[in-house]
Amino acid sequence: MYEHDVIVVGAGGAGLRAAIGAHEAGADVAMVSKLHPVRSHTGAAEGGINAALREGDDWELHAYDTMKGSDYLGDAPAIETLAQDAPEDTIRLEHWGMPFSREDDGRVSQRPFGGLSFPRTTYAGAETGHHLLHTLYEQVVKRGIQVYDEWYVMNLAVSGEADPNDRSCHGVVAYDVQSGGVEGFRARDGVILATGGPGQAFDHTTNAVSCTGDGNAMAYRAGVPMEDMEFVQFHPTTLPSTGVLISEGVRGEGGILYNEGGERFMFERGYANNDGELASRDVVSRAELTEVNEGRGIEDEYVHLDMRHLGSERILDRLENILHLAEDFEGVDGLVEPMPVKPGQHYEMGGIETDENGQTCIDGLYAAGECACVSVHGANRLGGNALPELVVFGKRAGRHAAGEDLGAPEIETGYGDDVEDEGMELPVTPGEAGLPERGSGEAVADGAGAVADAEGLVERAVDRERERVERLMGRDDGVQHAEIRAKLQQAMTADVNVFRNREGVERALETIRECREEYRDVYVDDPSRTFNTDLQQTIETRNLIDVAETIALGALVRNEFRGAHWRQENQERDDDEWLKHTLISWNGGKPSIWYRPVILEGQDKTYEPKTRSY
Partner 1 sequence: MSTQQESVESEPEEPESQEVPEDQEMSGLASPQQERLQRKQAALEERERAESDHDMDDDRVHLKVFRYDPEVEGKQEPRFDDFHVPFERGMTVLDALIYARDEFDSSLTFRHSCRQAICGSDAFFINGRQRLGCKTQIADLDQPVRVEPLPHQEAVKDLVVEMEHFYDQMHAVEPYFQDEETPDASELDEQRQSRENREKVKMSTRCIWCGACMSSCNIAAGDNEYLGPAAINKAYRFAMDDREDEEIKEHRLRILEQEHGVWRCQTQFSCTEVCPKDIPLTEHIQELKREAVKKNLKFW
Ligand X SMILES: Cc1cc2nc3c(=O)[nH]c(=O)nc-3n(C[C@H](O)[C@H](O)[C@H](O)COP(=O)(O)OP(=O)(O)OC[C@H]3O[C@@H](n4cnc5c(N)ncnc54)[C@H](O)[C@@H]3O)c2cc1C
Task: Using CB under 6 A, list all residues that contact ligand X.
Answer: 9-15, 32-35, 40-42, 44-49, 128-129, 152-153, 194-197, 206-207, 210-211, 214, 245, 347, 369-371, 383-387, 390
Instruction: Give the N- to C-terminal CA distance of the chain in Å, as an integer.
Output: 55
Q: Please tell me whether residue 257 adopts helix, strand or coil conformation.
A: strand
Residue number with CB closer to ligand X (87 or 369): 369
Gyration radius (Cα) of the chain, Å:
23
CB of 32 to ligand X, least distance (A): 6
Q: Which residues, listed in sequence order, are joined to residue 183 by a DSSP beta bridge?
A: 174
Burial status of residue 261 (CB atoms within 10 A of its CB: 0-12, 13-18, 19 or more)? exposed
Q: Are 221 and 586 in contact (CB under 8 A)?
A: yes
CB of 11 to ligand X, least distance (A): 4
State which of residues 280, 559, 570, 587 lies at the interface with partner 1 (CB under 8 A).
Answer: 280
Taking CB under 8 A as the rule, does residue 528 contact partner 1?
Answer: yes
Q: Please tell me whether residue 239 adopts helix, strand or coil conformation.
A: coil
CB of 462 to partner 1, least distance (A): 22
State which of residues 10, 13, 190, 240 lies at the interface with partner 1 (CB under 8 A).
Answer: 240
281 is catalytic: yes
Residue number with CB closer to ligand X (310 or 326): 326
Residue number with CB closer to ligand X (113 or 595): 113
Q: Are 301 and 342 in contact (CB under 8 A)?
A: yes
Q: Are 344 and 204 in contact (CB under 8 A)?
A: yes
Q: Pick from 68, 168, 167: which is nearest to 114 by CA?
A: 68
Strand ranges (E), 119-253: 121-122, 146-149, 151-158, 169-176, 182-193, 226-227, 232-238
Taking CB under 8 A as the rule, does residue 575 contact partner 1?
Answer: no
Taking CB within 5 to 8 Å according to partner kind, which of partner 1, ligand X, none is near residue 99?
partner 1
Residues 360 and 351: their CA atoms lie apart, in Å, by 11
Residue number with CB closer to ligand X (291 or 465): 465
DSSP state of 533: H
Strand ranges (E), 357-491: 365-367, 372-373
Taking CB under 8 A as the rule, does residue 245 contact partner 1?
Answer: yes
State which of residues 95, 408, 453, 477 lies at the interface with partner 1 (CB under 8 A).
Answer: 95
State which of residues 4, 62, 130, 186 lies at the interface with partner 1 (CB under 8 A).
Answer: 130
Residue number with CB closer to ligand X (79 or 298): 79
State which of residues 213, 383, 394, 447 lies at the interface with partner 1 (CB under 8 A).
Answer: 383
Taking CB under 8 A as the rule, does residue 267 contact partner 1?
Answer: no
Taking CB within 5 to 8 Å according to partner kind, which of ligand X, partner 1, none is near residue 196?
ligand X
Sites for partner 1 among residues 31-90 (CB under 8 A) = 35-36, 38-41, 43-47, 53, 87-88
- Which one from 17, 120, 186, 281 is the annotated catalytic residue? 281
Burial status of residue 525 (CB atoms within 10 A of its CB: 0-12, 13-18, 19 or more)? middle
Residue number with CB closer to ligand X (235 or 286): 235
Of 279-287, 443-451, 542-550, 597-605, the segment contacting partner 1 by CB under 8 A is 279-287
Is the preceding omega at residue 375 within 30 degrees of 0, hence cis? yes
Would you please indicate which residues are annotated as catalytic (active-site) residues? 281
